[in-house]
Amino acid sequence: MRHFRCFLETARLGSLSAAAAALNVSQPAASKTIRDLEEIVGTALFDRSGRSLSLNAAGRVFQSHVGAAMADLELAQRLVLDPPQPRPVVRAGVLPTAATGLVPRAALAYHGDFPEVLLDVMTGPNWLLLSLLREGQLDLVVGRMPPAGSADTLRFRSLYWERVVPVVRADHPLLRQDWDYGALTHYPLMLPPRGALISASVRQWLQSVGIGDPQPAFENVSLAFGREVVRQSDVVWFISEGVVQTEVEAGTLAILPIRNELLGGPVGITLRDTDEPSAQTRALIAAIERAAEGLIV
């Protein structure tokens, strides 16, 4: 450290006497330190002209690395002497149905009240998020109610009922009140993947209206992909209303009218049944519940 500091000060000031004064050592001591360093490195680092010193090519290379190393060492010392306090983190898994409206509103309100807390949001398929919740890698999951038989170590708190709706582009030929469900066989379908929570209810509804073995062109619940495919084609997309709510309100997409309101299910918060949520997690739950108040039907 002594050698490095003397080298950097000499390089900065261009003079051994000035570097010695800055370091509060004698000039002979500073001169010996530089000579020792050059011997350790194995090459001269300065060009000497009278009493002035200037870095040579090797010295300039050495300076660039030593400067960065000293900064890292000084940071390490500060962290050891005054370690930073760990920042509280809440890890939330969010299914697509809650990722476009509910959770963003709740997250912004939560950050306003608890700016010191890091909200780590992960989106993904239901099976993955629930698995991570069970393993303790997530604190909560927001989305559809877990399927029967998979919630033995989990508890679900319902927030509201949400429809699954057929969505099309704004000028789709089927956009009329008297459209016939059988017409769906004439248009490409985008259905939830079979592992998605809403998949079974969508396929059951299609069977109930006479489409017993639907052959979808796409399987998807992603807004980014589904929105663009629907906008640019005649595809009919069956998806949770919350995923496309913003697009429907903006007129980019439209919902085909159907008479079966049972095509849907509850949306809420899933927690581990064995753990008591932290204070930060409870506060996030409260923010989500407030954000959901206008969505309860």
174-233 pLDDT, tens per residue?
Answer: 998 788 899 999 999 999 998 788 888 899 899 988 898 889 999 999 999 999 999 999
What was the pLDDT predicted at 101? 85
Selection from 263, 190, 253, 193 nearest residue 227 by Cα: 253
Helix/strand/coil for 232 = coil
Sign of CA dihedral 110, 111, 112, 116: positive
First to last CA, the chain: 68
Selection from 128, 149, 291, 109 nearest residue 221 by Cα: 128
Measured distance CA(181)–CA(245) in Å, rounded = 23
Rg of the chain on CA atoms, in Å? 32
Measured distance CA(30)–CA(39) in Å, rounded = 14
3-state DSSP helix/strand/coil percent for the chain, to nearest 5?
45, 20, 30
Measured distance CA(8)–CA(64) in Å, rounded = 10
Helices (runs of H) and strands (runs of E) counted in the chain: 11, 11
Strand stretches in 80-139, DSSP E: 89-94, 118-123
Q: What is the pLDDT of residues 241-260, one digit of tens each?
A: 989 999 999 999 999 988 76
Phi-psi region of 42 (alpha: psi -120 to 50; beta: other; left: phi over 0): left
CB 270 within 8 A of CB 151: yes
Give the pLDDT of the chain (297 residues) as one tens digit per residue: 889 999 999 888 888 889 889 999 999 998 999 999 999 999 999 988 777 788 999 999 999 899 888 888 888 888 898 887 888 999 999 998 888 889 999 999 999 999 999 999 999 888 889 999 999 999 999 998 887 766 678 999 999 988 899 999 999 999 987 888 999 999 999 999 987 888 888 998 999 888 988 899 999 999 999 999 999 999 999 999 989 999 999 999 999 988 765 578 889 999 998 889 999 999 999 999 999 986 644
Measured distance CA(246)–CA(104) in Å, rounded = 12
Residue 151, strand partner residues:
none
What was the pLDDT predicted at 151? 61
Backbone phi, psi, residue 261, to 5°: -80, -5
Measured distance CA(4)–CA(37) in Å, rounded = 8
CB 96 within 8 A of CB 198: no
